[in-house]
Amino acid sequence: MTETPGIWPPTIPEAARRAAETWPDAPALLAGDRCWTFAQLWADARATASAMLAAGLRHGDRVGIWAPNTREWILAALGAQSVGAAIVPMNTRFKGGEAGDILRRSRAKLLFAPAHFLGQDYGALIAGEDLPDLREVIAIDRDFDAFVARGQGSDDPAVDAALAGVGPDDICDIIFTSGTTGRPKGALTAHRQVPQSFGDWAVRVDLRAGDRYLIVNPFFHTFGYKAGWVACLVRGATMIPLPTFDVAEVVRQVEQNRISFIPGPPTIYQSLLQELGSGERRDFSSLRVAVTGAAPVPPALVERMRHELGMQNIVNGYGMTECGVIAMTRQGDDAETVAHTCGYPMPGIEVRCVDDEGHDRPSGQAGELWVRGHGVTRGYLDDPAATAEAVDADGWLHTGDVGTIDARGYLAITDRKKDLFISGGFNVYPAEVEKLLAGHPAVAQAAVIGVPDERLGEVGRAFVILRPGMTATGADLTAWSREAMANYKVPRGFVIVPDFPRNAAGKVLKTELRDVLGDRAWGDKT
């Protein structure tokens, strides 16, 4: 089953330029009742790059983008990358302190953030943060056109000079991902890695020129950004970004814009099936491809997607910020394979399953998955120690995921060595949540685990030891957490306990916490 990596553009801006050259009049992006061709999108990206230069942005600088899925997000990214800057995508659920930490550590010079989204002025959220490198916050939903007007337009020769200086080994983005230390780390990705990895991904999943791609996954995530609008540029598919997930809007888009390609967690497809069964006449006949992941997919759901939604191709996969896409199932794989594996390694990607000593495990036996190839991160920003811990001297990325490789070479994830859990498609790192909870004046110590949830896959449960003389209820801690951290990180339940089960060295035994979950002897579950 060996596949050869494809030949793709060497940089993300070059992918946009080639798309404009190859499919100049084809629809590149639909938003509201407006449509932009690939030629128009590239011209707008060049005009944005001219404005970036006028704002003083130069090769090697960083630009934060803290916003929902919109055309302006794509233009801000392409504009920055066209002048040699790296983008720093940021989760729209971040609170001010979380965003401030990333902006400060990435030394971002510009930030694009909405003045009005989900009831928030994002610029106001970071007003009290110490950000010595940040020159300006541009309200992406209000002032973007005015920002672009500062430049010399799409024909600015300075843009050509800047583009000529952007190479395939330049860093194109810094995406912060948490870890067991509880402190987010900025994974560095070079330009050549993105079109290469996600061009091959697009071939594996059968994304075609002319497909209508409803991009539900957020642009601040690899799935929405690289496997989303970048893949569309590489393959000539039409991008239809969805700023927030809403079932009614997904249904409207599928029917009105004849969506053929839709990725996301199983919840999306379950919602579409419910709509079909609601008694109201629906036309989902345009749907052809579903790409899922981040949560278990029951075989029965795969069969229903094929027979009731009429989807010809349903694929599942495995990826991570530090290596983009690692494995995907293939067109024609049976429901059991799609449901119970995350596929076969991508072209140019090697995967090993090893024991604690680094020795390869036999087929079907569980071990840590190690990955090597062109997609592996160039390291963590300003953190050589974490880089050396994650990527060994032979180039193997130690994923921290425990899984198996069967006789066919297909991977299955069985556990997570690094303690993270996935809630609604977002990675949640207990150490990070525990660190944030420690900021509550009544909390002496917290231990967080993931527990099963029918809708979100997993949610957090926090066991909390209170400080002497202090009181707090689960409701108090929930309300405080909603102000202090992104919503997906907020534990969905709190258990007040006198102490944690520990080993002889004092380490918290989270497996025992799971065993006693709900036991009233451990305190009040709220």
The string of DSSP codes covering 59-75 is TT-EEEE---S-HHHHH
Domain with 441 in it: 421-525
Q: How many domains would you assign to the chain?
A: 1
Query: CB under 8 Å to 331, separation ≥6 — which residues?
Result: 204, 205, 206, 313, 315
- Give CA–CA dist 88/77, Å, rounded: 9
* 180 has a pLDDT exceeding 60: no
Between these two residues, 504 and 237, which has the higher pLDDT value? 237
Residue of 496, 491, 494 lying closest to 523 (CA atoms): 496
Residue type present at position 176: F
Q: Tell me: the pLDDT tens digits for 27-83?
A: 999 999 999 999 999 999 999 999 999 999 999 999 999 999 999 999 999 999 999
* Residue 319 pLDDT exceeds 80: yes
Q: Tell me, what's the pLDDT at 525?
A: 45
Question: Cα-flanking dihedrals φ and ψ of residue 195, to 5°?
Answer: -60, -35
Q: Is residue 468 part of a domain?
A: yes
Lowest-confidence pick of 9-18, 208-217, 507-516: 507-516
Q: Which two tokens stand for residue 128?
A: 């009290």
Q: What is the pLDDT of residue 46?
A: 99
- Which amino acid would we find at residue 469? G
Residue 441: give its domain's CATH number.
3.30.300.30
Residue 218 carries which side chain, given as an amino acid letter?
A: P
Residue 39 lies in a domain: no
Is 455 strand, coil or helix? coil
pLDDT digits (tens, 9 = 90+) for 425-483: 888 878 789 888 988 999 988 999 999 888 888 999 999 999 889 999 999 999 999 99
Whether 320 is covered by a domain: the verdict is: no
Contact between residue 287 and residue 308 where contact means Cβ atoms under 8 Å apart: no
Question: pTM value?
Answer: 0.85
> What is residue 388's three-state secondary structure?
helix
Residue at 446 is within a domain? yes
Higher pLDDT, residue 513 or 39: 39
In a domain, 319, yes or no: no
Phi first, then psi: what are they for 320, rounded to 5°? -155, 160
Structural domain includes residue 486:
yes
